[in-house]
Structures are given as C-alpha cells and as structure tokens.
Amino acid sequence: MKIALIAHDRKKELIVKLATAYQDILSQHELFATGTTGQRIIEATGLPVHRYKSGPLGGDQQIGAMISEDAMDMVIFLRDPLAAQPHEPDVNALIRLSDVYEIPLATNIGTAEILIRGLQAGLADFRTIVHETDNRPLSL
C-alpha cells in the first residue's frame, strides 16, 4: 500500500514517534511524505520515504494529485487545528480529495494508530481489491 505521512509543524514530533512505534508495519509499505516530515521520519527510522515539497510549497498538492490518480491508498495527516496555516486551502483540498476518492484519512494520532493497526490486521485490503477490479472489463 502507498501511505502518505504529513504533519503540521507542531505535530512533526508526534508523527515521528508514530513512525518509530510502527516502523515494522510501515516498512512493509511504500511511504510518501511532505519535505520536512519525510526527512525527520527518515532520520529517526531509516525507512525509505519518497519526499515531496514542503506543504506550503506544494507538497500537499502533489500528494493530492496522487490521490486523484488513485495512486495513494492511505493518508495520515496530523493537523494542528489551533494554528492558522498559510496553505489552508491546500489542506482542505487534500482532505476533500480523500473523501471523494474514498481514501482512508487520519487527521489525529488516535485515528492514525487505528489505521496503522488496521493495515496490520488486513482491514484495508479493500484497496487491493479496488486496484485488481479497476482493470477488469465490466460484465453486463
């Protein structure tokens, strides 16, 4: 599965702790992240992470593009709801795209942990089925 890891500044330490705690599970998947978040996860865990630009510089939009192409299976975006974000429209667009394309999305640590544990238990396998059936011709 392809998993995006994103965190606002005051949540970066928390996403690093999450990635460290669930390193064994995350190592079995392809990871993507916005710039600084990805670098901090790489430094703390050694996991391979494809890094996009920083969120305010378009990283959120790059991940959103992957979602719109059905090339992302899960998004963990630890948001800071108490801080104004200069790129708030991009954040909202990413959340909206996750809803439009039915991509599992966590915006807080509690939900993120449940999604990661669900990965381990096979509860997100429907994404694999979606990819398998997308290429089959429809029978009438």
Domain boundaries, given as residue ranges, for the chain: 2-134
Say which amino acid occupies 79. R
What is the dihedral sign for C-alpha 129, 123, 101, 14? negative
Q: Is 60 a catalytic residue?
A: yes
Which of 9, 60, 90, 125 is the catalytic position?
Answer: 60
Predicted TM-score (pTM) of the model is 0.88
The CATH architecture to which 2-134 belongs is 3-Layer(aba) Sandwich (3.40)
Query: pLDDT tens digit string along 47-102?
Result: 999 999 998 888 999 999 999 998 999 999 999 887 777 677 778 899 999 999 99
Closest CA to 127 of 109, 101, 106: 101
Distance separating alpha carbons of residues 22 and 16, to the nearest angstrom: 10
Distance separating alpha carbons of residues 88 and 37, to the nearest angstrom: 17
